[in-house]
Structure 1
Amino acid sequence: MTQTSAIELRLPGTEAFDSLLTEIAAGARDRDLNDENPFEQVGALKRAGFGTLRLPAEFGGPGYSVRQLFSAVIDVARADPIVAHIFRTHFWFTEERLRALKANPADAVSQRWLNAVAAGNLFANAFSEKGALAVGSLVFNTRLLPAEGGGHRLDGEKFYSTGTLFSDYLTVATTTDHDSVASVLIPADREGVRIIDDWDGFGQRRTGTGTTVFTNVEVSADEVLADSPYDAQPSPTVQYASLQLYIHAVVAGVLESVVDDGVALLRSRTRSFSHALTESPVDDPLYQKLLGELASTAYVARAAVLDAAEAIGAATDSERDGVPDARLAEQAQLKVSKVKVHLDAVAPEAATRLLELGGASASSRQRNLDRHWRNIRTITLHNPVAYKARAIGDNLLHDTPLPANAYF
């Protein structure tokens, strides 16, 4: 399953990349309507080098900044938020390897996996598990145990494993025989790995966010990360900030798509009500006002995401031995949390108000305009907004640090 075709780099902002996004966007509505997996679209982005954007020149990448990366993610999400979401943990994995290599330039393990990223391989996660274990507690029932004759064997079941259906490698969070946490990297097509496309959410439906089962999977010693990103991290850290901001970048992209569809919807209308302010809906100042409000919401969403991305980049650049400047790290985490709280409040409402530009006909199943609300609402449910808002308030009042887990 590993990628062998050569990458033909199409950088964001170029005509070639814009053309690719136009092609992806053209079928997004119908793929959602027909419940189709975007294998072709993910493959096209891989071949275009989208997954290599953060790689520095020594690995053949363009060396994009964090802000530049998130701008590109918003653009892809505008074309199709399903496709954009599939790359989420890939970029987090890449960032972790870059962080480890910066702390130790002689790190052969990180060099190996960054070369795999440079070759066009896509990495996905197998982290979450069902059951009574607290989310974010880093306690897993999936086990990595020594095997007879050397190496290890992996057994367990994961859920919400976004992107696995489209990936070349899986990053698996496990518990070892010493009850410590380990991160395992294995090919997605290895014997004993079963990827089940059973995610049944009403939004973000074809992201491959289903069950992944590991049954007596062979794992070699060099596939177990010695510096697992799930181990206890030094404080402060922005280890997970980009992982969380990625979700909000997808929302920002959906909001821009809402505006696109709003313009098209309003222009398509040929009649209005007898009591409307104008004969033509496209000239009605009330509709124009609503469209302007939607465009303003989308603009502020992009600006907020990119501002938080800039803060993550500053904290990342400040790292010494893997530890960023404490003040910069806190600023980045707080900004990401504030983006979450704000977008959760305004984005679903914007997707709902889109329908007001078309009236009852806008609810046509074939138009599929409800996908924007469904996608946004599903994304916003990834972590509870109330906990984020409370943490921000507690920090303001008592200078309380944000929780040190994967959700901040």
Structure 2
Amino acid sequence: MPSRSDVYYFGAGPAALPQVVLERASASVLNHDNSGVGLIEQSHRSASSTQIVASACQHLETLLGVPKDGSYTTLWMQGGGTTQFSAVAYNLLGYWVQKSLDANNGDLEAVKAALANAKADYLVTGSWSKKAAEEAQRLLGDELVNVATNSKAATKKFGSIAPEETWNLTPKENNIFSYFCDNETVDGVEFPAFPASLEGTLVAADMSSNILSRRVDVSKYAIIFAGAQKNVGGAGVTLVVIRSDILKTQPTVDTLRKLGLPIPPIMCHYPTLTGASSLYNTLPIFEVFICREVMAGIIARGGLEAQEKVANEKAEELYSSLDQGGIYNVVPEKNVRSRMNICFRIEGGEDVEKAFLKGAEERGLTGLKGHRSVGGLRISNYNSIPQEAAAKLAGWIREFAASRK
């Protein structure tokens, strides 16, 4: 049986974590801070838990450069990114409704008239943004959702992002909000930068698989969310950074009923959860603790500037090996290749891909199988993957290609 030091795990999530974090977490499970009580056992409302959540928020805000003027609020929630598909739709629609009410002196009929032309714009560039758009359509109705671009429509498969000038965006005066997935974990597509055509709209972004891997201008976003289990921690907790005015500008339940609009479940209602400092219900404190320790490590290594440099260097080495191999077909178009999820196929079909995987596992390189929905192979190059792991895998990519010639 191999030891942990013999294996480099490239799984897409739950993903590898730094060994030093796991060692600290293991000790805390048995006896957290010499309290005689394990971290998993302690109350989520204890002073210790409150301190863990508060310091995790501080680390996240430091890394992302969240404005210190109170214009944004940080939240930790149970569950994964899929829950946020619903929460984003509920809360941003609510914000639009209340702003419209205020602009029309509380006239519900005027708001109903405005709703006739209002749309939430979704950029569908992969499997996860597709699911987000489908959830918005299920909750809000097709009449309030506009798929402004769909990468799969023309090519029948994901792997590209259409030029912005081709997007069918709702006029800004009728836009409820805009939504995109910054990095598509399944399909290996990443936005190179913030979409310029979304400037001036209320923007929500799913950063589940590239959060804390590069610098972000938080001021461009209304909501940023990310499931922790790829770059930040383990499964079961999600981070949310939300503009504070959205929390303060929400309609009453009675107003939503009168307008015939959906009422958010309490666990998807951001104002309720932030009002309780992320502790409205039993938050998985152990998972937040792991996130805090991972983020502390990133800060100690130089923050996002240093982390972005490492992420880019690893991705460049891996893509270079694939491009030069002669037998590999990288799935996404070159201009939107993800630095985090490197998806590819090998000439010769599944038997050849199985041979590649077998040889990789013999060398301690695991977790390389592609998502079940698309097959192929996928290298998840998350923050906890050390440069020596990427170098070893790049070497195997070159070695396998040479063996096929």
| Shared fold, TM over 0.5 | no
TM-score when normalising by structure 1: 0.25
TM-score when normalising by structure 2: 0.25
